[in-house]
């Protein structure tokens, strides 16, 4: 007999699911999903997720997958995803940010509220558990930077366009970001080195060469469709500066990887400083870190002079589920919020 509730975060590159039973998270998973290639890829990801998570009495969904260029515009993406999810999941509520949870038949007609509102679920949960802080969720592709105080988000932007303009949404992630989007020049062998504007490598390659990227977080093909060993990752880095793997030592490739990581951290520091400059958040308030890039968010907290707290600390459940929830914060958050509003 089915029991429990599953929260879903349906993105353009991943599907994340969090199972809640008795108020505690029991399992959280993340699966690759190349939604931009067709909705059948989402169907397959749902098949696998439901097979691993089991049946549930209820489901709660947040989405960002409407953004993929499979759909002519986001409103169409919201409608098609809502219809597909309602067909596949049955008893379902859709997260619509400040509007709360909506039934599918209403959600499909509220695309502006539903689209890319997953960060509002995460911040809503964090603000219940911590008095004030800067919530930072660094996923595979983007980073959310949202201040909160006295139980409420202090964001300025709501839509993707507004959030980009306010530096509350930063298009840099821990895995999928092309290196050409991280830096146009990096120090290499004692001098500035121009970076090729080619999709030869991603930030995952740099973090892997540094030894910083945890296993199991890079779920997609590499830029050259080769493997993810240290040498294969370093070879992709080498191409970005016009070299081959044998043109430098392993230590030199590590230094190059460190240079790209510093550039990425600098982007985040600048964005966070801008966000905090207008937020009513005390200097001692922590940075709450979530997502695949928590290893870099710890560095961000240190650069900002703030204590770091992990999103896993805000969740009840076994250690492995809390750790997975910290990587997939919106899925966990919509499950917890849906359960508390039922």
Same domain? For 111 and 16 the reply is yes
CB under 8 Å to 204, separation ≥6 — which residues?
174, 175, 176, 213, 217, 218, 222, 228, 233
Same domain? For 114 and 190 the reply is no
- Coil, strand or helix at 29: strand
Same domain? For 110 and 25 the reply is yes
Determine the average pLDDT of the residues in 164-190: 98
Same domain? For 91 and 184 the reply is no
Alpha-carbon distance 31 to 9, whole Å?
A: 11
**Residue 309 pLDDT exceeds 90:** yes
Same domain? For 11 and 115 the reply is yes
pLDDT of the residue at 132: 98
pLDDT of the residue at 341: 85
Crossing angle of helices 250-277 and 294-304, rounded to 10°: 60
Residue 295 placed within a domain: no
pLDDT of the residue at 2: 55
Residue 162 placed within a domain: no
Give me the CATH number covering residue 185: 3.30.420.190
Residue 293 placed within a domain: no
Query: Tens digit of pLDDT for each residue in 111-127?
Result: 999 999 999 999 999 99
For the beta carbon of residue 4, count every other beta carbon within 10 angstroms: 18
Alpha-carbon distance 164 to 51, whole Å?
A: 37
Same domain? For 184 and 258 the reply is yes
**Residue 188 pLDDT exceeds 50:** yes
Residue 147 placed within a domain: no
Determine the average pLDDT of the residues in 316-337: 97
Q: Which one of 237, 265, 293 terminates a domain?
A: 265
**Any bridge partners for residue 238, and if so which?**
none
Domain assignment of residue 92, given as a range: 5-119+314-341
Query: Tens digit of pLDDT for each residue in 196-238?
Result: 999 999 999 999 999 999 999 999 999 999 999 999 999 999 9
Alpha-carbon distance 99 to 124, whole Å?
A: 12
For the beta carbon of residue 102, count every other beta carbon within 10 angstroms: 18
Same domain? For 114 and 9 the reply is yes
Determine the average pLDDT of the residues in 16-38: 96
Residue 247 placed within a domain: yes
Same domain? For 90 and 190 the reply is no
For the beta carbon of residue 98, count every other beta carbon within 10 angstroms: 10
Same domain? For 236 and 323 the reply is no
Residue 136 placed within a domain: no
Same domain? For 12 and 98 the reply is yes
Query: Taking the model in full, what pTM does it have?
Result: 0.95
Same domain? For 15 and 115 the reply is yes
Alpha-carbon distance 129 to 332, whole Å?
A: 14
Question: 72: exposed, middle or buried (C-beta count within 10 Å: 0-12, 13-18, 19+)?
Answer: exposed
The pairs formed by 247-253 with CB atoms below 8 angstroms and a separation of 24 or more are: 248/189, 252/188, 252/189, 253/209
Query: Tens digit of pLDDT for each residue in 42-93?
Result: 999 999 999 999 999 999 999 999 999 999 999 999 999 999 999 999 999 9
Give me the CATH number covering residue 334: 3.30.420.40
Crossing angle of helices 250-277 and 230-240, rounded to 10°: 70
Residue 65 placed within a domain: yes
pLDDT of the residue at 212: 97
Domains contained in the chain, number: 2
Residue 35 placed within a domain: yes
Same domain? For 12 and 88 the reply is yes
């Amino acid at each position: 007999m089915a029991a429990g509730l599953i929260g879903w975060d349906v993105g353009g590159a991943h599907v994340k699911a969090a199972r809640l039973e008795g108020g505690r998270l029991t399992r959280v998973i993340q699966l690759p999903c190349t939604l931009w290639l067709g909705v059948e890829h989402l169907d397959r990801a749902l098949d696998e997720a439901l097979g691993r998570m089991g049946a549930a009495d209820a489901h709660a969904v947040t989405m960002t997958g409407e953004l993929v260029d499979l759909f002519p515009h986001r409103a169409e993406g919201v409608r098609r995803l809502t219809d597909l999810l309602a067909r596949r999941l049955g008893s379902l509520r859709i997260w619509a940010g400040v509007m709360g949870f909506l039934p599918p038949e209403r959600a499909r007609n509220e695309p502006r509220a539903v689209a890319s509102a997953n960060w509002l679920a995460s911040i809503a949960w964090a603000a219940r558990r911590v008095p004030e802080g800067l919530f930072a969720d660094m996923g595979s592709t983007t980073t959310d930077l949202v201040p909160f105080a006295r139980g409420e988000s202090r964001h300025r932007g709501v839509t993707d366009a507004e959030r980009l303009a306010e530096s509350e949404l930063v298009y840099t992630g821990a895995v999928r970001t092309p290196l050409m989007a991280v830096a146009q020049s990096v120090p290499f062998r004692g001098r500035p080195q121009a970076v090729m504007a080619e999709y030869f490598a991603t930030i995952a390659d740099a973090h892997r060469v540094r030894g910083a990227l945890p296993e199991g977080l890079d779920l997609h093909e590499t830029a050259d469709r080769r493997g993810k060993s240290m040498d294969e990752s370093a070879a992709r880095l080498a191409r970005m500066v016009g070299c081959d793997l044998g043109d430098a030592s392993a230590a030199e490739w590590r230094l190059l990887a460190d240079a790209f990581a510093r550039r990425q951290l600098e982007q985040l520091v600048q964005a966070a400083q801008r966000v905090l400059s207008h937020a009513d958040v005390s200097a001692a308030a922590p940075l709450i870190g979530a997502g695949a890039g928590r290893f870099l968010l710890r560095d961000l907290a240190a650069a900002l002079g703030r204590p770091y707290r992990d999103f896993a600390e805000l969740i009840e459940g076994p250690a492995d589920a809390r750790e997975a929830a910290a990587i997939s914060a919106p899925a966990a958050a919509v499950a917890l919020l849906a359960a508390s509003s039922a």
